Structure 1
């Protein structure tokens, strides 16, 4: 593991010493200061024991999550989050651990574990609040679905291992759980119909072809058959034959009928009951639900009206900066005409999918060359650049990142959507790479996984505002790193920042201000050079997962605010590398907890 995290490692070491030295504190001649330290150590260990047990319980309850964080003992289970038994167990788990952590004396913990305590308590409290809303009635959408996750796991290039007979049997069992889950999805969506908690019609129309694409006549043509195409040579011929037959039988006789049945349900029953409204405000108690989702994703208490106004201000500022770039490159025409040229002229696009991927590989090398000047903490894991798989490229985002395997056996993956070359302009390469890969998501997530001396839940928990805010901050950092000397690449940075600013306006517009899908699409077309297909996919994404898109800009603005505060207070003592290390070495934090950490660091640096 990494060796950068001395402070975090010491916290755990002190806790262990508190256990080892407990008998010595009974010595009446001991130094009073030693007694104080020992009390802190004992408190630390009590807290660590509590959250370690929580992590074991939560991974047992959520076996798919366990697989992704490198725990293989539950690889045979799917984990049906829609059953009454699961919902009851989740509630009891959150209640039990929130009560338990509240019973501890936070002030007795070491500084690093006080941050962890705050993070843990915040997480459990928000989870319990979220239970008040009927999310179970909308268990899937066109953007997020366990169906997509299962296909990615079946590829053999994700977290699910396919090396032994036991691994292959585990997947068969997990598939049985997935098939049962499909039946429960119908039950919950029917309850949603009765309660008028349903998806917008257009999103259902997007889902139907996704499911139809998985319907095949022969098992060998299914993406779920991929593990058989990659049977390892270490297996005997007999084992290979038995495994192959079992997979063929399961896919043909169980999986395909279940997928066919669910597809027919979507196309028939559910589609005709889908709603005509586009925003969450069209649902029962939708405005309160949306405010909760905004709070959840931004980890703030900002009212959605305030978020909307911040977005309007940011859009205006970025438009002005874009116009300066138009003048700098000597473009004769208006800003909308500049947008049109950048979005349509052949010179701004790659000629092939292969050239597109190569463009990002070259950007990786340019960025890697300057990273040591800005970071003294970097991930051990590398990342690779890959095209988005064909089965999901039509509805997938333009790019995404998948974390490396926890055990180091697989690098992080920077996915580029090559489906529409006109949606991937050359001028967007640098900023997108900074955001999704290094030093954006790859740095933040890989370093978090490699942390030592912090509770497991902290290594594997995530908050959108922190993670997306950091990635957007990484784009900003590209200016200082000298990566935007080409004005067109700088325009790409502004274009991506504009997307995040528009999200504040459009997401809140859709879900709190009664905007229609068409109104949201037009707003984005008027204020950016994004391809029409990208804009449609973006708006429909906001419709499906309200509030998530708010996290980027809110998080970035808070990080920039904290950096400016540190620079103003520390002056010549401000160390940018150290500031970045402070942000990266405690995992993903709620905004208030992150601010608390940086303020404490500023105070410590001021004394040195």
Structure 2
């Protein structure tokens, strides 16, 4: 059902629609038992909560300049210059505390279901933020302002280019972009000041992440100015920019890139190579930092939305690795390999049968899966994204430092498509077996469906449309991979192996992430474990481990989130029997944006109860 406007259906009905299917019997019962005064009270409490939402959105944009840029907001030079300043961290902490206090004052019993869900989502997020914004935690995080995985130095070129979500539709938009480019050096200087604070307190990035950042900057600076991402907005103007202005803007963007942006990157590189790298730590994990164990637990809570003990997660991962290896043994036989599993991993790495010969072969594989998913999706989903999805390789300067694929969201209005990126670096280490499962995860119906449907749902609060937690976002994408069984993709043993290999990756993450950050594992120990338990290539294994080192806890969210969604689906199927509708289940999971695991459980179980009771 397409959502109607507030004016057409009223706030209470809109809230019911936001949470899923509106049952006529339920509506009648609500109408019968709620008198006018009770409705007015509920709407009043809903309105009070929505004022908090509006403040959270406004303040969120002001206190997250990069996030605002990615969502197409106009970010002033003054706001941009807040990045990496102690004042920004202080404002975030104070604002978070004030919002959390206001949320606690709202009585959930006076809210309709959609608003109760939204309040619970925001409380969960703000509580997790509060733990990470404590001064002792900031002393470990603010002095490490970015690293090689999605750090500001690589994110800024992306949000300076068309197709990234940035607003570039008018001459003023271009002028604002140019103005931000001019002060980029000051932002880098502010970041360097924070890095120096960490050097003084003994809290630094691992040396390997510093080496990766230096290599990323080298790759960026190796591009001629005329082909850099910073001048790309002038290579193709939208029709809304007057023709008379284009030559001037093209010349100015080229000049500011040459005179301001590239020198800023060169200065940052000198700082990292000559001053910071000698002080960087050798050990990769948070266990090497005083207080790192407490920070790691807070990060696990933030990424998974659950209070989990690292030892418990580590043991869970070992159990999942053993289970998946059993399935691998069966598929290995279907691929006509009779030797031990470890020998098959080696064969996978070297046998040309499993690797693309050309970039085009890899691209064609992903596009073929995409066409099949497009045809099958209506059988599994009540709502499909309006935003289109494009498929393309990573830019050359990024590819070496990226995993096999990723997703970049489109714009909320659907004008700019989402992008499924695939990696062609070191082509001999890429696998044809992983084509299906990677597309289902990063493309459709994984990240593209979840992120696009949330963005396009203007009835949701901003934090549910654009925010979220990794357990939900990555858990959904991993769950989406399993739909390949029902869709018939994994009848092909090659593709069946690929999804098992990817599931093994997510299981190994539980072991390796906790190994690095709670058990003192070295980088080489982590890489060796991944090579011993999967068929992945060394390039991928090293990139994965470096990523876990850079963002502790994030890698745990995939498997933990997917297991939650799978458990809820099994519960719904078992309880509802013939009443179970996979499309309705997916609508419940996707219909309210990204939810913490406990909130998602409550919502789905409410739907199960209503569906079971309905005649």
> TM-score scaled to structure 2, two decimals?
0.92
| Cα separation, partners in 2 of 1:130 and 1:53, compared to 1, 3 Å | same
Q: Secondary structure at the match of 1:300?
A: coil
Change (3 A) 1:363 1:39: same
Deviations 1:225-281 (A, max 9, x none): 222333457656663343244334322332222211111111111110011111110
Matches within 5 A, 1:218-233: 219-220=225-226, 222-231=228-237
Which of 14, 34, 52 is matched with 2:36 structurally?
A: 34
Distance 2:319 2:5 in 1: 41
Alignment of 1:302-313 (within 5 A): 302-313=308-319
The total of aligned residue pairs comes to: 595
Q: Distance in 1 between matches of 2:15 and 2:505?
A: 47
* Alignment partner, residue 26 of structure 2: none
CA shift in 2, pair 1:109/1:39, >3 Å: same
1:219 CA drift (Å): 4.1
Q: 1:296 and 2:302 equivalent?
A: yes
2:344 corresponds to which residue?
Answer: 338
1:161 aligns with 2:170: no
Equivalent residue for 1:521? 527
Provide the TM-score with structure 1 as the length reference: 0.93
Greater shift in the superposed pair: 553-562 or 75-84: 75-84
**Secondary structure of the residue that 2:572 maps to in structure 1?**
helix
Question: How far apart are the structure 1 equivalents of 2:224 and 2:546?
Answer: 33
Pairing partner for 1:128 from 127, 130, 136: 130
Match of 1:80 among 58, 82, 95: 82
Looking at structure 2, the residues matched to 385 and 581 of structure 1 have their Cα atoms a distance apart, in angstroms, of 25
Structure 1 residue 178 displacement after superposition: 2.9
Name the structure 2 match of 1:112.
Answer: 114
For residues 328 and 218 of structure 1, the distance between their equivalents in structure 2, rounded to whole angstroms, comes to 49
1:366-420 deviations in whole A, cap 9, x for unaligned?
1222222111122121201011111111101210011111122111110011112
Tell me what 1:23 maps to: none
Give the stretch that moved more between structures: 556-565 or 244-253: 244-253
State whether structure 2 residue 61 is matched by structure 1 residue 59.
yes
CA contact (8 A) 2:83 2:190 kept: no
Q: Which residue of 2 aligns with 1:185?
A: 191
1:277, 1:516 within 8 Å by CA — same for their partners in 2?
Answer: yes
Task: Give the aligned partner of residue 410 of structure 1.
Answer: 416
Task: Name which of 558, 561, 566 aligns with 2:567.
Answer: 561
1:294 and 1:547 in contact (8 A); partners too:
yes
Pairing of 1:536-555 with structure 2 (within 5 A): 536-555=542-561
CA deviation profile, 1:532-559 (whole Å, cap 9, x unmatched): 1000110111011110000000001111
Name the CA distance, whole Å, in 2 between partners of 1:452 and 1:358: 35
1:351 aligned counterpart, secondary structure: coil
Provide the residue aligned with 2:329 in structure 1: 323
- 1:504 positional shift: 0.2
Residue 389 of structure 2 is aligned to residue 377 of structure 1: no
**Aligned residue number for residue 92 of structure 1:** 94
RMSD: 2.4
Q: Is the 8 A contact 1:76 1:172 kept in 2?
A: no
Match of 1:47 among 32, 36, 49: 49
Q: Paired residue for 2:266?
A: 260
Q: Is the 8 A contact 2:399 2:423 kept in 1?
A: yes
Deviation at 1:75, TM superposition (A): 8.6
Q: Secondary structure at the match of 1:97?
A: helix
Map of 1:350-499 to 2, 5 A cutoff? 350-499=356-505
Instruction: Call closer, same or farther: CA 1:322–1:31 in 2, change over 3 Å.
Output: closer
Q: C-alpha distance in 2, partners of 1:164/1:511?
A: 47
Give 1:200's match in structure 2, choosing from 196, 199, 206. 206
**C-alpha separation in 1, matches of 2:81 and 2:412:** 21
Q: Distance in 2 between matches of 1:488 and 1:380?
A: 32
CA distance in 1: counterparts of 2:549 and 2:489, whole angstroms = 34
Q: Distance in 2 between matches of 1:127 and 1:448?
A: 22
- 1:201 and 1:274 in contact (8 A); partners too: yes
1:585 aligns with 2:591: yes
The change in CA–CA distance for 1:406 and 1:227 in structure 2 (over 3 A counts) is same
Is structure 2 residue 355 aligned with structure 1 residue 349? yes
Task: Tell which deviates more after alignment, 579-588 or 50-59.
Answer: 50-59
Q: Secondary structure at the match of 1:213?
A: helix
What SS does the aligned partner of 1:415 have? strand
| Structure 1 SS opposite 2:35 | helix
1:350–1:356: 8 Å Cα contact kept in structure 2? Answer: yes
Distance 1:551 1:416 in 2: 22
Matched residues in 2 for 1:120 and 1:240: separation?
A: 43
Deviation readout 1:412-440 (Å, 9 max, x if unpaired): 11001111223321111111111111111
Q: CA separation in 1, counterparts of 2:573 and 2:239?
A: 58
In structure 1, the gaps of 5 or more residues are: 18-29
Aligned position for 1:21: none
Q: Distance in 2 between matches of 1:16 and 1:333?
A: 58
Change (3 A) 1:235 1:126: closer
Which 10-residue stretch deviates more, 341-350 or 210-219? Answer: 210-219
State the SS of the aligned residue for 2:349: helix
- Give the drift of 1:15: 8.2
Q: Per-residue deviation at 1:121? A: 1.0
Q: 3-state SS of the aligned residue for 1:409? A: coil
Instruction: Give the Cα–Cα distance (whole angstroms) in 2 for the partners of residues 524 and 578 of structure 1.
Output: 37
Written as runs of structure 1 = structure 2, the 5 A alignment for 1:568-579 is 568-579=574-585
Structure 2 unaligned segments of length 5 or more: list them. 17-31
Deviation at 1:450, TM superposition (A): 1.2
Equivalent residues of 2:41, 2:110 under 8 A apart: yes
